[in-house]
Structure 1
Amino acid sequence: MVMPNIGAFIAWGLITALFMKTGWLPNAELAKMITPMVTYLLPLLIGFTGGSMVYEHRGGVVGAIATMGVIVGTNIPMFIGAMMMGPLGGWCIKKFDAWAQPRTKQGFEMLVNNFSAGILGMILAIIGFFGIGPVVSGLSGALAVGVDWIIARGLIPLANVFIEPAKILFLNNAINQGILTPLGIQASASAGKSILFLLEPDPGPGLGVLLAFMFFGKGTAKSSAPGAAIIHFFGGIHEIYFPYVLMKPALFLSVICGGVSGTFMFNLFGSGLKASPSPGSIISILLMTPKGIMNYVGVISGVAVATAVSFLVSMVILKRDKSEEIDDIGASQAKLADMKDNAKGTAADNQDAKAILSTAENVNHIIFACDAGMGSSAMGASILRDKVKKAGLDLSVTNTAINKLTDEPGLLVVTQEELAKRALSKTPSAVHVSVENFLNSPKYDEIVTGLKTKEVSADTPAETPSEKAEAKADAVTNLDAAKIKRVDFIHHDQNIGSATMARSMFKDTLKKADKTDIDVRNVAVGEVEDTDTTLVIASKETAKRIKLSFKNVQVLVVNDIVNAPEYDKLISELK
């Protein structure tokens, strides 16, 4: 509910930072926007979003009306109340419509719809005013007293003992947007800043881990760490460092120590931000820092100390590690996907992009969909958009929140695996591809190759029966068999078994023919070596992708890779 409206939070934070009495450009007239925005605009946006997530626009309207009751019934910014009343309003009007619509006489639909939304919204607003508002206000007051007690005794750094592991378990949004941000806004409204805005967004702990991998990691983890560090620190996408910690669970200690030490420095300098930075980029953090040199010194010191401590602890852990697990970033990303499944309570069946795209005859729009339609999905869309452009394909690539997906012709939807079922229910007629990680998926190349294959198929004239027979007869003759030193059978998720069997049978036949110098392999497309000494044996659709991806390999197209009649002639011509 909060993430789709984060732009409004940033607008409020910037207006506050610029125009309040102690801001960069104090302006009493413009500062009049600050209180109405935090009191009315932001909670109403949250309430409307919550209601619309349950029951589209109609649910959003009732959710906003219901939220107004808790806003007026209290004297604090009512974010938590909005998170309760918005979905409740959407759910109530959805249930009412399910009951009333079959019973509504023809011609009275508009009257019933309008008055039911108004009456139900009024009732919920009254309930919120007298019931929900005071309860949430009392709860927020108790939490604020508890946080104040921790801060007064200098214990606020201990909060990171729970926050840092929770982030990696994908509870970061629940902690930051659900607890720390509402309490921080209350503190900021009176004090002008709050340390609570720094606890979860601090990029220091994650940056320290990534820097340690840059210097002391191995393999793909080491080579990918520099790019991940830039995206994390400047882009504010903290999720990118989670796989590195899960790869070596001892690194949980690194981020905890970094978080505690960073918050200790924030507390020591009395640092705080005017509003919640989102994303958690160092740029956003500095923009939300109050005017004053010591405020900047405190914030930068906290981030720097968190980075240094996390780096040092990670360095010790990585240097002492002798296992090979540290190199397996792919396995860690798979583990990350499982952790996200558990955190969100969903799971999805993975699908092979190449097999799916063989059915994509009319794809003209690609959408990346995630929970909020921001962050990693935006970056994934940017990555694929660049690949599509370089491939010369005229396709639109955008990103959106999964709840805003609409079924339309020519749509290809890319989601993370745990969201695939939700995306399928929203767009049943679309082509669907699920990935483990928006920021680094090999399926992007498969998507582009599949779409290029589709264009080649569409542009190639159909063969006549006589041409097909002639092509089949000449398939082996057209090969330069004298050069072939390796034969590759191509597999993917749908034919791993048949490719394995074909390799075994072909190898046995070669052995009987006393041609054991030929290397026979069962490989994925990405493992093919692009030389004219390699022969790829594949089905028609797979062969098209091979020809688009490689320039030098020789290709033999067969209808049945296990028992093709072309094999006898091929083996007889091999040297």
Structure 2
Amino acid sequence: MSAPTTTSQDAGTREPAKGPGLRVRVQKLGTALSNMVMPNIGAFIAWGLLTALFIETGWITGIFSSLDKPGSWVAHIGGWGDFSDGGIVSPMITYLLPLLIGYTGGKMIYDVRGGVVGAIATMGVVAGAEVPMFLGAMMMGPLGGWTIKHLDKLWEGKIKPGFEMLVDNFSAGISGMILSIIGFFGIGPIVEHLTDWAGDAVDFLVDHDLLPLTSILIEPAKILFLNNAINHGVLTPIGTNQALEDGKSILFLLEANPGPGLGLLLAFMVFGKGMAKSSAPGAALIHFFGGIHEIYFPYVLMKPKLLAATLLGGMAGVFTNVIFNSGLRAPAAPGSIISVYAQTASDSYLGVTLSVVIATAVSFAVASLLLKTDKGDDDGDLSAATASMESMKGKKSSVAASLTGGAAAGPIKNIVFACDAGMGSSAMGASVLRKKVQQAGFGDVTVVNKAISNLTDTFDLVVTHRDLTERAKQRTPSAMHVSVDNFMGSPRYDEIVETLKETNSGGGQAASEAPAPESAAPAHTAGKHEAPKAGSAGAAATATATQNDILSLNSIVLQGTSTTLDDAIEEAGRLLVAAGAVEESYVAAMHERERSVSTFMGNGLAIPHGTNEAKGAINRTAMSFVRYDEPVDWNGKQAEFVVGIAGAGKDHLALLNTIAQVFLNKDDVARLRSAQSPEEIQAILAGGDE
């Protein structure tokens, strides 16, 4: 995030805003690397367990001597003895793990399509080098996603109907092929040399007993959230290569050892004061067994001199592991003692255990001395330190509530209404909530809608249907979550407004004096004009031809014939098919969407639409409207009006916004009931009078 522009008092002119500093850039790099590795940690664990169990010196071969034979099934799995050219262990680390990282990196840039091209590109560096290509995958995966994303933009809207699939498939295949060749001859060999050089540097540090000094870099980096760049960008790739050759690597223990943080928290439990002392026991459990190391960062930020405790504790732990030549078979993530022991090599349990104990003891002793000799009356402001930690992290902390006794401190600025497809129900809900938020005077709070699959953990508050909340939590674990079951008139919207009044300083009436930001407006009208208000005089004149195209007269039925929910979805969907807006398969996707989450909005309105996966069956954006004299039973709710939606882009959001406002107005709903022609319906839903 760029620094704000400042005013020069001497010259009276504005100085240019400064770009992000080095720390922020490294943080972003670390986050990107972490986002490629962390979703695939399960695969690393699987590889580590296979290695621990089935290699020639593995647990099973060690326990059951009868299986320690070159031709046994254990040797077949481990790839040794008579099966040295096969097995699971070597192909998994050579092919599966880099390809997963490459796919994830591409998917981060351009969803599944980017992931596929990223994986193809990664295969080039995998085949072009003789070491596991984790660094190569971290380069080629995002490059593949970026490439196909920009290629698609070149001919977006220029492909003749019927040729879309042909162009999509061949563009992905050709670009992936070219990138894989570049990776094979160029990137792969370069990364292999870099990996060998880094491995030699680590060997030098080990041979000269200098490896403990890495704690001088790693421990402060953890506090500043720079550790991901070091851990996933350097330690994991080099450590995995060492584990392939030696069966273990000490590098996996440099950052994951929970001892330094545990010792610090134990010192606060004994010698701390106030909130810091009372919160330390819970934080210690989360840190040691849950593996969430960031839980202790605010304690160090509150008293920076305590960094000496974690630094010396980390050095002591590394020194112990060097003495005992201990290591892990695979990365321990998260850094829980359970994960550490699960990946400990069979000959390293004593060394790993002592490294955790000694690191804890050293950190505890140093932190206790510093706390006992502290002349301050209290232990500082833990809440302020937590807020400082979140500021450096760049987002809210999922464990901050454990320290402050409640939700993480800080105002709510970004709200997202999420649904399965991000097409209809979330857009309607966001429209209603946005109006309430702005009427309450919080013009600086943005309310947008997204598909759950497109959520990132950057929002302060996430609103979803109650059946989708758990899925949303997986995508946005650090956000506050609110569940609703009535999109149009949920009482939870008023609760959200009350929460804003409690958390957002300077909100309310003062905030209402400032204009709403462009991002608070519907996507296609942002920065241009507001959507016409329902029932306003003369507003019909502002209903654009585009809106009339989206909801054409031929797609409006005043007397629906359906009597069941399924038939009503079919009726609305068939109107979309007849208009040429969707393929036949889209109607089936509308039924599938309804089976997962209800599309009943409230106030007699249902808006059935397809799943996120069915967007490929949409030819253009369109809506259909069906009115029923006898309301349809919609899973126990009464639906008088059914609006079918096929949203190819964002150009339907303004009309959805207007429809939402219409159904919040009882007079407008009455006008819809009494309308005698499709033209009247079209005018009302466009925001005009009769």
Over 3 Å counting, the alpha-carbon distance change for 1:497 and 1:93 in structure 2 is closer
- Tell me, in whole angstroms, the C-alpha distance in 1 between the residues paired with 2:101 and 2:45: 14
- Following superposition, the deviation at residue 19 of structure 1 comes to 1.2
- Tell me, in whole angstroms, the C-alpha distance in 1 between the residues paired with 2:396 and 2:383: 20
Is 2:389 the partner of 1:312? no
Contact map agreement 1:220 1:327 (CA 8 A) in 2:
no
Structure 2 letter corresponding to 1:135 = I
Deviations 1:182-224 (A, max 9, x none): 1111111111111111101000000011000000111111001
Structure 1 letter corresponding to 2:76 = E
For residue 60 of structure 1, what is the aligned residue in structure 2?
Answer: 115
Contact map agreement 1:70 1:81 (CA 8 A) in 2:
yes
For residue 420 of structure 1, what is the aligned residue in structure 2?
Answer: 459
Over 3 Å counting, the alpha-carbon distance change for 1:220 and 1:448 in structure 2 is farther
- Following superposition, the deviation at residue 99 of structure 1 comes to 0.2
- Following superposition, the deviation at residue 492 of structure 1 comes to 5.6
- Tell me, in whole angstroms, the C-alpha distance in 2 between the residues paired with 1:125 and 1:265: 43
Is 2:219 the partner of 1:208? no
Structure 1 letter corresponding to 2:450 = D
Is 2:308 the partner of 1:297? no
2:244 maps to which of 181, 189, 211: 189
Structure 1 letter corresponding to 2:504 = D
Is 2:381 the partner of 1:328? yes
SS at match of 1:194: coil
Deviations 1:441-472 (A, max 9, x none): 9x78xx699x9xx87789xxxxxxxxxxxxxx
- Tell me, in whole angstroms, the C-alpha distance in 1 between the residues paired with 2:349 and 2:173: 49
Deviations 1:62-104 (A, max 9, x none): 1000000000000000000000000000111111110023332
Over 3 Å counting, the alpha-carbon distance change for 1:169 and 1:40 in structure 2 is same
1:493 maps to which of 504, 519, 522: 504
Structure 2 letter corresponding to 1:139 = L
CA RMSD of aligned residues (A): 3.8
The aligned length equals 401
- Tell me, in whole angstroms, the C-alpha distance in 1 between the residues paired with 2:237 and 2:345: 19
- Tell me, in whole angstroms, the C-alpha distance in 2 between the residues paired with 1:498 and 1:107: 54
For residue 332 of structure 2, what is the aligned residue in structure 1?
Answer: 277
Deviations 1:138-164 (A, max 9, x none): 111111111111111111111111011
- Tell me, in whole angstroms, the C-alpha distance in 1 between the residues paired with 2:105 and 2:246: 30
- Tell me, in whole angstroms, the C-alpha distance in 1 between the residues paired with 2:166 and 2:380: 65
- Tell me, in whole angstroms, the C-alpha distance in 2 between the residues paired with 1:97 and 1:356: 30
Over 3 Å counting, the alpha-carbon distance change for 1:253 and 1:150 in structure 2 is same
SS at match of 2:186: helix
- Tell me, in whole angstroms, the C-alpha distance in 2 between the residues paired with 1:364 and 1:128: 38
Contact map agreement 1:171 1:343 (CA 8 A) in 2:
no
TM-score (norm: length of structure 2): 0.53
Over 3 Å counting, the alpha-carbon distance change for 1:421 and 1:226 in structure 2 is closer
1:143 maps to which of 198, 221, 228: 198
Over 3 Å counting, the alpha-carbon distance change for 1:59 and 1:352 in structure 2 is closer
SS at match of 1:407: strand
Contact map agreement 1:217 1:327 (CA 8 A) in 2:
no
- Following superposition, the deviation at residue 105 of structure 1 comes to 2.0
For residue 57 of structure 2, what is the aligned residue in structure 1?
Answer: 22
For residue 92 of structure 2, what is the aligned residue in structure 1?
Answer: 37
- Tell me, in whole angstroms, the C-alpha distance in 1 between the residues paired with 2:228 and 2:351: 25
Structure 2 letter corresponding to 1:178 = G
Instruction: Give runs of aligned pairs for residues 122-161 of structure 1, distance below 5 A.
Output: 122-161=177-216
For residue 338 of structure 1, what is the aligned residue in structure 2?
Answer: 391
Contact map agreement 1:204 1:307 (CA 8 A) in 2:
yes
Instruction: Give runs of aligned pairs for residues 71-470 of structure 1, distance below 5 A.
Output: 71-292=126-347, 295-324=348-377, 326-341=379-394, 351-352=411-412, 407-408=450-451, 419-420=458-459
For residue 7 of structure 1, what is the aligned residue in structure 2?
Answer: 42
Contact map agreement 1:66 1:86 (CA 8 A) in 2:
yes
SS at match of 1:5: helix
SS at match of 2:75: coil
Over 3 Å counting, the alpha-carbon distance change for 1:22 and 1:218 in structure 2 is same
For residue 370 of structure 1, what is the aligned residue in structure 2?
Answer: none
TM-score (norm: length of structure 1): 0.64
Over 3 Å counting, the alpha-carbon distance change for 1:338 and 1:270 in structure 2 is same
- Following superposition, the deviation at residue 421 of structure 1 comes to 8.3
Contact map agreement 1:234 1:281 (CA 8 A) in 2:
yes
- Following superposition, the deviation at residue 351 of structure 1 comes to 3.9
- Tell me, in whole angstroms, the C-alpha distance in 2 between the residues paired with 1:336 and 1:30: 46
Unaligned runs of 5+ in 2: 1-35, 62-73, 79-86, 398-408, 421-447, 464-468, 494-500, 511-690
- Tell me, in whole angstroms, the C-alpha distance in 2 between the residues paired with 1:84 and 1:343: 28
- Following superposition, the deviation at residue 324 of structure 1 comes to 4.7
- Tell me, in whole angstroms, the C-alpha distance in 1 between the residues paired with 2:304 and 2:321: 27
- Tell me, in whole angstroms, the C-alpha distance in 1 between the residues paired with 2:383 and 2:148: 45
Over 3 Å counting, the alpha-carbon distance change for 1:187 and 1:422 in structure 2 is farther
- Following superposition, the deviation at residue 341 of structure 1 comes to 2.8
